[in-house]
Amino acid sequence: MTQAAAGWYPQPDGTQRYWDGSAWTEHIAPAAELATPPAPPAAPVNGYAALPSQEPLGVASSAPRRRVWPWIVGIGGGLVVLGVIAVVAVVMLVGKVTAGPKSVADAFNTAYMSGDCKTYLDLTTADFRDGDGYPGTCEEAAVSYFPDPSNGTFSISLDGVETSGSTATVTGTLTSPDLGDGPLTYHLVKVDGKWMVDSIE
């Protein structure tokens, strides 16, 4: 059994007694002389305090202390980052779902003229795609009409928006040296909370 190191140890009567490393000595000192308040004395054994398992008074413990605050800061920071990501995701989702009629008409023009048929499908109703087209299907336009330089250049500007319940009208102007200039009217309907192009005049 390992003996406690030599040093002063508190006694049940409030004094401190010196342990020389192998036995108690006759040296006794008042508790007031302790550099730091002693720990509560252990239960007495044969009239003397039991030897403590900790090091003598005045000797710093060599055992490292675990710090809790880095864990708290790390977990808190992680929660903040997750909260920011969640807010951004919700804002992006809501913005996509609730895009206004004019934004949808503009996105439709961009998708159709660039041959982005996936977006074209996402922004149009089945009635629009089954109707007269604009002037044909997205695939037809992508491979034959818009990419052909001989068809000239043109631009579309969107001017006004009128909304009534689940329907909306977006007005615009087509400008083209080859096709001629003229007004455009986009009719949109709201499907599952999302505006979609239903017809164009």
Query: At a CB cut-off of 8 Å and minimum separation 6, what does 34 contact?
Result: 8, 10, 16, 57
Per-residue pLDDT at 24 exceeds 70: yes
- DSSP states along 131-177: TT-SSS-HHHIIIIITT-GGG---EEEEEEEEEETTEEEEEEEEE-T
Nearest CA to 153 out of 134, 181, 185, 116 is that of 181
pLDDT in tens, 71-93: 787 888 888 888 889 877 755 65
Q: Say what the pTM is.
A: 0.47
More confident residue, 56 or 184: 184
Summarised one tens digit per residue, pLDDT across range 30-67 is: 876 555 544 544 555 555 555 555 444 444 445 556 67
Cα–Cα distance, 168 to 165 (Å, whole number): 8
Q: Which domains occur in the chain, in start order?
A: 7-49 (no CATH), 101-200 (3.10.450.50)
Query: Quick one: tokens of 73?
Result: 């800061």
Task: Give per-residue pLDDT as tens, 153-170.
Answer: 667 888 889 999 989 999
pLDDT of residue 55: 47
